């Protein structure tokens, strides 16, 4: 975060500077993490080929890979569709997504904190702890998103005005942001569910859930809603995605929950 303003404004590199800052941060972070991991003795260098470990690394990372890939594709399709309705809608989508991202990023970080707890206790066959940790993480995350949604809804106009002065963009941004706030709390359960499935070895279910929100549901709904309601269909897109992905997460977690009870 510190490198972004330095490279963008101090070094006057603009948006290219933001890219350089991100790349530099990733490289430095990797070196620091590697150094302390080897120093503490938690990791030892072993070049032997282990099929089982390779499988778990690739299969475990697949949900994240698919999520990132499908999100990029979804963003491209959204921009192409939104461009039909003018530059103001495109700008409004950017503004509203950046504001709502504040809450979403915190929620993702919170759910990622559940990962090591889930993996270690599941590996140790302490399934009740996995269930307790899941409930606690999902409940607190959802409560946080409820408060975030209320604040973003109430102060949506003021927040949008900090990013643009265009009256039309402000009006559209506020509408989109408020629509997102209505179903924002559903994202908490979805995010934690994805981490649960990924860390208990349910790789296929985790992959399907990961691509559901921005892929399986997003792509058809984008064209259906925009076809039925034109520009307003794009306003409705996020709430529909949140509800459908939440329903799928509930269905998958219920199946996993039953397996815990049997164990």
pLDDT in tens, 198-248: 889 898 898 899 889 888 899 999 999 999 999 999 999 999 999 999 999
DSSP string, 151-185: HHHHTHHHHHHTT---HHHHHHHHHHHHHHHHHTT
pLDDT higher for 91 or 13? 91
- Are residues 30 and 126 both part of a single domain? no
- Are residues 28 and 62 both part of a single domain? no
- Are residues 231 and 111 both part of a single domain? yes
User: What is the pLDDT at residue 48?
Assistant: 75
Q: Which two tokens stand for residue 118?
A: 């889930």
Count of domains in the chain? 2
- Are residues 81 and 38 both part of a single domain? no
- Are residues 105 and 38 both part of a single domain? no
- Are residues 60 and 39 both part of a single domain? no
- Are residues 40 and 71 both part of a single domain? no
Choose one of 29, 45, 61: the last residue of a domain: 45
> What would the mean pLDDT of 21-39 be, rounded to a whole number?
83
- Are residues 64 and 38 both part of a single domain? no
Structural domain including 258 reads 50-262
- Are residues 7 and 110 both part of a single domain? no
Contacts of residue 240, Cβ cutoff 8 Å, sequence gap at least 6 = 217, 221, 225
- Are residues 179 and 121 both part of a single domain? yes
- Are residues 122 and 215 both part of a single domain? yes
Sign of the Cα torsion 75, 80, 85, 91 reads positive
Cα–Cα distance measured from residue 253 to residue 137, given in angstroms and rounded to the nearest whole number: 14
Lowest mean pLDDT among 32-41, 110-119, 169-178: 32-41
Residue 85 class from Cβ within 10 Å (0-12 exposed, 13-18 middle, 19+ buried)? middle
- Are residues 57 and 37 both part of a single domain? no
């Amino acid at each position: 975060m510190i490198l972004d303003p330095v490279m963008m404004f101090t070094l006057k590199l603009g948006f290219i500077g933001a890219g350089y800052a991100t790349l530099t941060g990733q490289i430095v972070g990797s070196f620091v993490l590697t150094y302390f991991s080897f120093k503490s003795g938690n990791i030892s260098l072993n070049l032997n080929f282990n099929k089982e470990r390779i499988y778990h690394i690739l299969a475990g990372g697949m949900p994240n890979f698919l999520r990132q890939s499908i999100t990029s594709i979804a963003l491209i399709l959204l921009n192409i569709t939104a461009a039909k309705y003018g530059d103001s809608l495109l700008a409004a989508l950017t503004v509203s997504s950046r504001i709502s991202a504040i809450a979403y990023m915190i929620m993702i970080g919170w759910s990622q904190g559940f990962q090591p707890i889930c993996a270690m206790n599941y590996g140790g066959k302490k399934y009740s702890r996995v269930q307790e940790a899941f409930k606690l993480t999902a409940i607190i995350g959802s409560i946080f998103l409820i408060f975030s949604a209320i604040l973003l809804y109430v102060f949506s106009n003021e927040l949008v005005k900090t990013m643009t002065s265009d009256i039309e963009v402000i009006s559209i941004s506020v509408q989109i942001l408020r629509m997102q706030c209505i179903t924002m709390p559903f994202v908490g359960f979805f995010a934690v569910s994805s981490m649960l499935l990924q860390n208990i070895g349910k790789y296929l279910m985790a992959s399907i859930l990961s691509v559901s929100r921005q892929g399986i549901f997003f792509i058809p709904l984008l064209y259906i809603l925009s076809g039925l309601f034109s520009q307003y269909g794009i306003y409705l897109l996020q709430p529909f995605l949140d509800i459908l992905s939440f329903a799928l997460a509930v269905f998958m977690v219920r199946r996993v929950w039953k397996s815990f009870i049997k164990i």
